[in-house]
């Protein structure tokens, strides 16, 4: 290598660097002539990000960018399915608590009547019950701040708080003003509303939702009923809108033998995943009836579908909701979360019972009582029974829907009332008359214990409507006095779906 070549090699890195700098300068000067074509960027923004930046830097007025972002998110999700949702950071703790069947609070259930917060329920062993609060108490203040005239969300936010903190509630108890300092604790809510012997050898269990504790709670209840001589079971899934898929799968495993398929999920980006029986169940052979209605959804329908496909149980009631989509929850950087549909679930024979949402979310929920299956494809159960997809789970025995209560509720709603309110009026009236006596049954003069305006309205109802109100109020009074299971027992006395299930099981040896 001669001296001239050596000098060129020495200066080569510098020439390369100068060439790159010159190129960048030329490029950036050209960028201004072509503003829609960015020349160089380490991270390309989305169109939404670009618009947000322009609004932030150029818009004529001050704007709430969070509100704009929230609106953009809702618009994006509205194009998808009804079950893909954004959960704001302020709501995330409450949503996650629902999944786990617990919450932080003092353990009171309340309703607002004539701008006053009335306690209508106490969580067993909750802080409020322990310090002596009673159903019928009126909450006037929380930490010295009046609750009069506030909506229920605002009232709830003032009573709830962080775990182990305290709140002082000012209570009006029949004219006597009392103050209670109550510690907020983590309270568990059982997903089993009732579990009792409804017949000589027939058990009844009602599951309100599927939380991470449902399978454990179910097994405890099932074991207790078997010890009482249960050999047949009514499992009530009405009103159960779903929850944790695995909990429904675990319960299905208790009813099915071998390694039978319970459900499977599959999506564009999610490979097929099968859920099968993996152990000997505790109720594989006993007679089984499942109850469903239009509010039985998601995880409930997984259980219903598996029982129907394998001909393991009789399903009685009304068609289920028709939700065959699986959501995954993802945490976002602003502490909110996205619950996104990632797959569909299928019954053992391959049915996806998701109903159409082509007409939008509003129509999707409004039409749930009108839905019918598509009948586009016929499936066969293990014993050859014809089954269909696309419109929920059709029961094996449909019970005619009595619309009497719907009409009653509508008339009461027009007056800003409900059956629970009416029962509460009667309950507090009875407590004033006999503070130390427990509720036995609805008094014959119950209408006279209501406000005059309500009594006049009920007087205009048809006899069958008045009877329906009386039955519902008697159940509500039982709830105030004895709790959820007693309430369900009272409802079941008049329930045509439960009566049909009992008749079906009683007819079988």
How much is the mean pLDDT over the chain? 86
Sign of the torsion angle spanned by Cα atoms 155, 160, 161, 164: positive
Cα gap 339→361, rounded to integer Å: 16
Summarize the confidence of residues 256-273 as an average pLDDT. Answer: 96
* Predicted pLDDT of residue 438: 67
- For residue 452, the model assigns a pLDDT of 86
User: Could you tell me which residues are beta bridge partners of residue 290?
Assistant: 235, 315
Which residues touch 224 (CB under 8 Å, ≥6 apart)? 195
Residue 234 pLDDT class (50, 70, 90 cuts)? very high
Of 97-111, 235-249, 254-268, give the lowest mean pLDDT range.
97-111
Report residue 373's pLDDT band, with 50, 70 and 90 as the boundaries: low
Residue 202 pLDDT: 98
pLDDT of 72 reads: 86
Pick 64 or 301 by higher pLDDT.
301
Q: Would the pLDDT of 41 be above 80?
A: no
pLDDT of 422 strictly over 70 = yes
Q: What is the token pair recorded at 404?
A: 């009497």
Give the model's pLDDT for residue 430.
85
pLDDT given for residue 433 in this prediction: 81
Domains present along the chain, CATH in parentheses? 102-188 (2.30.42.10), 192-400 (3.90.226.10), 404-504 (no CATH)
User: Does the structure show a pLDDT above 90 at 27?
Assistant: no
pLDDT above 70 (res 15):
no
Q: For the segment 46-79, what is each residue's pLDDT rounded down to a tens digit?
A: 777 788 888 888 888 988 888 888 888 888 888 9
Rounded Cα gap, residues 351 and 30, in angstroms: 59
Q: How far apart are CA 337 and CA 431, in angstroms?
A: 46
Which of 49-53, 318-322, 364-368, 454-458 is the least confident region? 364-368
Token pair listed for 33: 């002539």
User: What percent of the chain lies above the pLDDT cut of 90?
Assistant: 53
Half-sphere exposure in the Cβ direction for 267 (13 Å, CA): 13
- Confidence category of residue 418, pLDDT binned at 50, 70, 90: confident
Candidates 329, 274, 262; CA nearest to 299 is 262
* Confidence band for 171, pLDDT divided at 50, 70 and 90: very high
pLDDT, greater one: 29 or 93:
93
Distance (Å) of CA 460 to CA 51, 415, 453, 465, 469: 59, 14, 11, 10, 13
What percent of the chain stands above pLDDT 70? 88
Q: Is residue 20 over pLDDT 50?
A: no
Lowest mean pLDDT among 80-94, 264-278, 402-416: 402-416
Q: How far apart are CA 248 and CA 303, in angstroms?
A: 6
β-strand partners of 398: 317
What's the pLDDT at 402? 80
State the Cα–Cα distance between residues 37 and 114, nearest whole angstrom: 62
Residue 236 near residue 208 (C-beta atoms within 8 A): no
Q: Averaged over 188-203, what is the pLDDT? A: 95
Decide if 249 contacts 300 (C-beta within 8 A): no
Higher pLDDT, 455 or 498: 498
Report the range out of 8-22, 296-310, 333-347 with the highest average pLDDT.
Answer: 296-310
What pLDDT sits at residue 301?
Answer: 97
- Of 298 and 36, the structure prediction assigns the larger pLDDT to 298
Tokens of 311: 């001909």
Provide the 3-class DSSP secondary structure of residue 287: strand
C-alpha angle 295-301-305 in degrees, rounded to nearest 5? 140
Cα distance between residue 339 and residue 328, in whole Å: 6
Give me the pLDDT at residue 36, please: 42
Which of 423, 430, 264 is CA-nearest to residue 350?
A: 264
């Amino acid at each position: 290598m001669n001296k001239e070549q050596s000098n060129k090699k020495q200066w080569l890195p510098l020439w390369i660097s100068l060439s790159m700098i010159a190129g960048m300068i030329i490029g950036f000067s050209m960028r201004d002539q072509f503003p829609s074509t960015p020349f160089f960027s380490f991270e390309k923004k989305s169109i939404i990000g670009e618009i947000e930046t322009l609004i932030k830097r150029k818009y004529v007025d001050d704007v709430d960018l969070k509100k704009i972002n929230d609106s953009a998110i809702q618009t994006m999700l509205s194009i998808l399915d009804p079950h893909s949702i954004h959960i704001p950071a302020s709501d995330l703790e409450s949503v996650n608590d629902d999944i786990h069947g617990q919450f932080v609070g003092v353990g009171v259930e309340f309703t607002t009547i004539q701008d006053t917060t009335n306690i209508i329920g106490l969580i067993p062993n909750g802080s409020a019950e322990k310090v002596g609060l009673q159903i019928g108490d009126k909450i006037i203040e929380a930490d010295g701040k009046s609750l009069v005239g506030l909506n229920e969300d605002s009232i709830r936010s003032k009573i709830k708080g962080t775990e182990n903190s305290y709140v002082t509630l000012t209570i009006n108890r029949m004219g006597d003003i009392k103050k209670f300092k109550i510690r907020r604790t983590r309270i568990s809510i059982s997903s089993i509303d009732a579990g009792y012997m409804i017949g000589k050898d027939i058990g009844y269990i009602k599951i309100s939702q599927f939380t991470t504790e449902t399978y454990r709670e179910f097994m405890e209840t099932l074991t207790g009923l078997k010890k009482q001589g249960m050999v047949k079971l009514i499992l009530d899934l009405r009103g159960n809108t779903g929850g944790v898929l695995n909990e429904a799968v675990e319960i299905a495993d208790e009813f099915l033998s071998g390694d039978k398929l319970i459900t499977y999920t599959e999506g564009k980006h999610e490979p097929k995943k099968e859920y099968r029986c993996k152990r000997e169940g505790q109720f594989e052979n006993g007679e089984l009836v499942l109850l469903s209605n239009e509010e039985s959804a998601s995880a409930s329908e997984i259980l219903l579908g598996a029982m129907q496909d394998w001909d393991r149980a009789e399903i009685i009631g009304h068609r289920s909701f028709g939700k065959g989509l699986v959501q995954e929850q993802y945490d976002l950087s602003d502490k909110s979360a996205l619950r996104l549909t990632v797959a569909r679930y299928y019954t053992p024979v391959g049915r996806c019972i998701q109903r159409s949402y082509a007409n939008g979310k509003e129509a999707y929920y409004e039409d749930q009582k009108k839905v019918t299956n598509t009948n586009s494809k016929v499936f066969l159960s293990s014993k050859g029974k014809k089954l269909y997809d696309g419109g929920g789970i059709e029961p094996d025995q449909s019970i005619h829907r009595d619309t009497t209560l719907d009409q009653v509720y509508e008339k009461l709603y027009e007056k800003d009332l409900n059956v629970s309110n009416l029962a509460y009026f009667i309950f507090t009236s009875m407590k004033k008359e006999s503070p130390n006596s427990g509720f036995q049954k609805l008094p014959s003069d119950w209408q006279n214990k209501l406000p005059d305006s309500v009594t006049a309205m009920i007087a205009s109802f048809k006899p069958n409507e008045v009877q329906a109100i009386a039955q519902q109020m008697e159940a509500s009074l039982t709830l105030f006095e004895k709790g959820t299971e007693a309430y369900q027992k009272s409802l079941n006395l008049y329930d045509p779906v439960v009566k049909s299930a009992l008749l079906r099981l009683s007819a079988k040896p």
